[in-house]
Amino acid sequence: MIHPLVEKHSKRFDRVKTDRSTFERDWNDIRDLVRPFTLAFNNVTGQYSLVRQDTMYDGTAPDALEELACALQSYLTNPSERWFELQFEGAREEDLDFEELLWLEHVSDLVYAQYRIPGSNTQGALFEAYLDAGSFGTCALYQEWDRRTNCVVFSAEPVASCYFLENSSGHVDTIYRLKSWTIRQVQQEFGEVLPPKLMALAKDQDKYVEILHCVTPRTDVRSGNSPKAMPFESVWCCLTTKELLKESGYRTFPYHVARWTKLAGECYGRGPARKCLPDIKMLNAMERTIIKAGQKIVDPPLVLSNDGWVLPIKTIPGGLIFKEDEDRQITPLETNANMPWGEEKAEQKRNMIRKCFYNDWIRRQKKTREQSATEINDDRDEMLTLFAPILGRLSTELHGPMIARTYFLLNERGLIPQAPQSSVKRTLSVGYLSPAARAQTGNMANQISRYIQDLVPLAQIDPGIMDTIDFDKTAQVLARARGTPRTIFRDPKELEAFRQQKQSAQMMQQMAQVAEPASKAIKNLSDAGIPMQ
């Protein structure tokens, strides 16, 4: 008998495969022409070497995709700086204790430290995810705690092997991941002892079988620490033999699925490659024709008499064409191909493809005149301001859940310090400090700076006008808008003591300055022999 869980998920998997099939025709074209070094759809064999580059005649689209992915990594998740911070939801920073602010800063550093560990594969997995999002419009990251390296570890799952379902809020909460493993790989993952039918195949260690991993919310969550009582059900089964391999669970959803953009009612996303796929196909066909025309110009077919020669006629570059006349001379065929026109049209298609991948925004055309550093920064901030709304879904569906699960995994192992008592009932949220995020908040900082500059001339007339501004709060607001770490600020109690000490020192200095003329006068009188009364 088939295990009930295997039967349930096998039938459900067949339905989600059917639902995804409408996307796979375009995805296969995108895979062939834009993202060749990934699994083919409807052919999940685990063989990444099956790459059909023999049909690709132009590399503009793959190059534009890679440039987009590099920009996303630089502007959203730059590995050289912490690009996020933890916050208390609904709480203003000025209303928080300094101890709470330091705790948030410390925990943010702890989470980010996991991403900087080489064994976590964070940057590599994110880059693969950006490539998938830009090409297929959908990407999937898997995050789990690795007991061997004692850190979180990420892996980018091929879109071809993943099937998703959404909840009522439009968020992906169910995934079916199909893998093709050898019997040896199955035993490495689940142990030497396998179910009976699968064990019967163990004689051939290199035989491939289909393994399905399903993660879905449980409808009957029970109390307790048992894996079968956790909010998310995890089921591993072998579709080849219809046998259950493992049943367990997760406390939080371990997959982070993001869509570039999607239509209402669709589960899978649409990326820039989908938008310009007709142009990519057209450019590929044009380049193939231009190459053939160029071959005929460099190595043209030959025109010669058919007397003593054997057909058929060949029109390929370097082929032979026969004619019946008295002229026995062999001459090359002049095609009169208009190569400049073809190159011009092909370049138009290349520019359109680069535009669809936002390469024109990323590169930002260089000015013909010299620019100051301020102008260059303003140009970049303008580009990021336009770019940021497009990337909002990635932050919501990828970066936010990714940071939240990392925090959960660290907290589950007691690696998060105890929060201050005043913040026990507060809810954590994620804020972003990436260049793209700072470009949005930088407008507020610029407005504050310009406002203060406007007050400077007025302050020369009436100095009291500056009393309307709380410069302590202004400094904090500007620091947050610029992404400045909280650790550079003084504790308010230390600040008050420092200011009192500074004020006392200034008073002593003023008293010394007042007493200095009097002491000099007394000394002068004494030197003149005038008695002091």
Could you tell me the two tokens for 53? 């580059």
Give the other-Cβ count within 10 Å of 411's Cβ. 13
Angle at 140 between CA 164 and CA 254, to 5 degrees: 85
DSSP code of residue 174: E
- Top pLDDT among 48 and 399 is at 399
- Top pLDDT among 493 and 176 is at 176
Which sign does the torsion angle of CA 169, 172, 173, 176 carry? positive
How confident is the prediction for the chain on average, in pLDDT? 82
pLDDT given for residue 107 in this prediction: 94
pLDDT given for residue 453 in this prediction: 77
Alpha helices in 357-470 (DSSP H): 359-363, 373-387, 392-394, 400-412, 435-461
Residue 265 has pLDDT above 80, yes or no: yes
- Top pLDDT among 216 and 380 is at 216
Which has the minimum average pLDDT: 75-84, 187-196, 323-332, 498-507?
323-332
Those residues whose C-beta lies under 8 Å from the C-beta of residue 273, and which sit 6 or more positions away, are: 30, 34, 35, 61, 65, 134, 135, 136, 137, 280, 356, 357
- 173 close to 256: Cβ distance less than 8 angstroms: no
Once rounded to an integer, what is the mean pLDDT over residues 296-318? 64
User: Which residues, in sequence order, are bridge partners of residue 273?
Assistant: none
Once rounded to an integer, what is the mean pLDDT over residues 10-28? 91
DSSP string, 253-276: --EEEEES---TT-SS---HHHHT
Could you tell me the two tokens for 7? 């039967």
Residue 459 has pLDDT above 90, yes or no: no
Could you tell me the two tokens for 442? 């930088």
Residue of 76, 54, 68 whose CA lies nearest to 135: 68
User: Which residues, in sequence order, are bridge partners of residue 146?
Assistant: 151
Burial class of residue 97 (count of CB atoms within 10 Å of its CB; 0-12, 13-18, 19+) = middle
Q: Which range has the top average pLDDT, 304-308, 356-360, 505-509?
A: 356-360
Q: Give the Cα separation of 37 and 340 in Å (integer).
A: 32
Q: Give the Cα separation of 427 and 425 in Å (integer).
A: 7
Those residues whose C-beta lies under 8 Å from the C-beta of residue 45, and which sit 6 or more positions away, are: 39, 180, 208
β-strand pairing of 172-182 with 208-217: antiparallel
pLDDT given for residue 423 in this prediction: 83
Residue 418 DSSP SS3:
coil
Residue 173 DSSP SS3:
strand
DSSP code of residue 491: P
Name the pLDDT band for 483 (thresholds 50, 70, 90).
low
pLDDT given for residue 177 in this prediction: 94
- 151 close to 120: Cβ distance less than 8 angstroms: yes
- 379 close to 364: Cβ distance less than 8 angstroms: yes
pLDDT given for residue 264 in this prediction: 83
pLDDT given for residue 49 in this prediction: 44
Phi, psi of 324 (to 5 degrees): -100, 100
pLDDT given for residue 266 in this prediction: 87
Residue 43 DSSP SS3:
coil
Name the pLDDT band for 48 (thresholds 50, 70, 90).
very low
pLDDT given for residue 41 in this prediction: 82
Residue 7, CB-side half-sphere exposure with 13 Å CA sphere: 4
DSSP code of residue 312: P
Those residues whose C-beta lies under 8 Å from the C-beta of residue 155, and which sit 6 or more positions away, are: 121, 125, 141, 142
| Amino acid, res. 53 | Q
pLDDT given for residue 449 in this prediction: 74
Residue of 39, 49, 12, 25 whose CA lies nearest to 212: 12
Phi, psi of 58 (to 5 degrees): -145, 135
In this predicted model, what pLDDT tens digit does every residue of 418-455 receive, in sequence order? 988 888 788 999 988 887 777 766 666 667 777 777 77
Q: How far is CA 312 from CA 151, 306, 307, in A?
A: 68, 10, 13
In this predicted model, what pLDDT tens digit does every residue of 319-373 receive, in sequence order? 666 665 555 566 666 777 777 888 888 899 999 999 999 888 777 655 555 666 6
Q: How far is CA 374 from CA 315, 378, 478, in A?
A: 60, 6, 18
DSSP code of residue 420: P
pLDDT given for residue 520 in this prediction: 64
DSSP code of residue 329: -
Which sign does the torsion angle of CA 229, 231, 237, 242 carry? positive
Name the pLDDT band for 92 (thresholds 50, 70, 90).
confident
Residue 371, CB-side half-sphere exposure with 13 Å CA sphere: 12
Please name the residue that has the structure tokens 């063989």. 47
pLDDT given for residue 397 in this prediction: 93
Length of the chain: 533
Helix pair 277-298, 60-76: axis angle to 10 deg: 140
Residue 525 has pLDDT above 60, yes or no: no
